[in-house]
């Protein structure tokens, strides 16, 4: 396993990061089996483990904490804060009030005295970024976390956070965790260049595009919209919809390319993400041991320029054919009232 420096932190992390979103009742509820998957990844050289307080309502953190007993010092452990963790208006978000409480709860579930990388899971327009950075800076000074970062932030908000940190003498985001895959290349236009400019580490999620890059979904084949991810978001998987048809057309071309260069589609997909100079680590999220074994087969794959050029022809750089599930949507786009004046005030005269 190759290791890369996580931004300017000096921390060395494996090029693959073990994501644990599928550990717990949402994916694999067997704690012992999840523990064996974590140990197998560590034995293969993975030293970077990523979780979040909201994964299976905290169960994922508990599983990770149990699995890392006796091996904690050798692991770079990352978790996240933001999404609601119970009833009530103040049990989520990016406020100091919630962050200070949430980190203590994560430390307890993870059974550790410190978190190596504490990430803000999504932007929160209700909270000034200065408030968030101030709380995180204090947690670093208290020794509860070593570094902090953001996840799925647009480039403009990353830049704003850095400017606020500089003006106020606060710690700054050291990492960003964005979605990135052969079908979701939008971050190449601005997020990745911004991360390079600020010397941020980048750990990318959803490299297999929610299963589209496993080969499970093919053109001219029916998709069962009653189970799994298709049941949760059928609009993203229904092949009758034009957007999904375009994704499936690209998948067919990518499968043909993978066959031509002697790779599986998942191997091509994972190797693509690690080839970008701004990417520090790619998050793999196995649910079973077999899935982990399959994902680790791609660790030795290095794509040549000719193959990367062919990929650019199929999905041009900076293009999003597949906006990933869970990606942050700016309120100005999600809320129509933010884009429309009152009817009586819309005319020019």
Residue 55 appears among annotated catalytic residues: yes
Q: Residue 339, class by beta-carbon neighbours within 10 Å (0-12 exposed, 13-18 middle, 19+ buried)?
A: exposed
Q: Both tokens of residue 103?
A: 């980190």
> What are the Cα distances from residue 78, in Å, to 49, 50, 54, 149, 259?
6, 5, 13, 10, 35
Report angle CA 340, 342, 347 to the nearest 5 degrees.
Answer: 85
Q: Which of 167, 179, 168, 134 is nearest to 285 (CA)?
A: 179
- What is the torsional sign of CA 168, 169, 170, 172? positive
Q: At what angle are helices 289-296 and 265-275 packed, to 10 degrees?
A: 60
Catalytic residue among 16, 55, 118, 217: 55
What DSSP string runs through 225-237?
TTSHHHHH-GGGT
The catalytic residues are 55
């Amino acid at each position: 396993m190759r290791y890369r420096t996580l931004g300017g932190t000096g921390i060395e992390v494996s090029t693959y990061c073990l994501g644990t979103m599928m550990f717990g009742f949402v994916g694999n509820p067997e704690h012992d089996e999840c523990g064996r998957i974590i140990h197998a990844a560590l034995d293969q050289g993975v030293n970077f483990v990523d979780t979040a307080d909201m994964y299976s309502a905290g169960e994922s953190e508990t599983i990770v904490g149990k699995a890392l007993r006796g091996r904690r010092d050798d692991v770079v452990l990352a978790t996240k804060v933001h999404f609601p963790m119970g009833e009530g208006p103040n049990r989520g978000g990016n406020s100091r009030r919630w962050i200070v409480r949430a980190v203590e709860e994560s430390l307890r579930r993870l059974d550790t005295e410190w978190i190596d990388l504490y990430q803000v899971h999504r932007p929160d327009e209700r909270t000034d970024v200065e408030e968030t950075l101030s709380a995180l800076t204090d947690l670093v000074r208290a020794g509860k976390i070593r570094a902090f970062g953001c996840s799925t932030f647009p480039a403009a908000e990353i830049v704003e956070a850095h400017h606020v940190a500089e003006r106020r003498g606060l710690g700054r985001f050291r990492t960003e965790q964005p979605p990135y895959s052969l079908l979701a290349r939008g971050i190449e236009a601005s997020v990745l260049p911004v991360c390079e400019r600020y010397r941020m580490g980048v750990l990318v999620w959803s490299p297999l595009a929610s299963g589209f890059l496993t080969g499970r979904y093919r053109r001219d084949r029916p998709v069962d919209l009653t189970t799994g991810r298709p049941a949760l978001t059928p609009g993203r998987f229904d092949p009758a919809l034009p957007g999904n048809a375009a994704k499936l057309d690209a998948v067919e071309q990518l499968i043909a390319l993978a066959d031509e260069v002697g790779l599986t589609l998942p191997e091509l997909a994972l190797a693509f993400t690690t080839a970008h100079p701004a990417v520090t680590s790619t998050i793999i999220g196995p649910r079973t041991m077999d899935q982990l074994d399959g994902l680790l087969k791609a660790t030795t794959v290095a794509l040549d320029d000719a193959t990367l050029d062919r990929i650019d022809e199929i999905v041009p750089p900076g293009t999003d054919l597949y906006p990933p599930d869970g990606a942050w949507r700016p309120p100005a786009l999600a809320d129509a009232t933010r884009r429309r004046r009152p009817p009586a005030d819309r005319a020019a005269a």
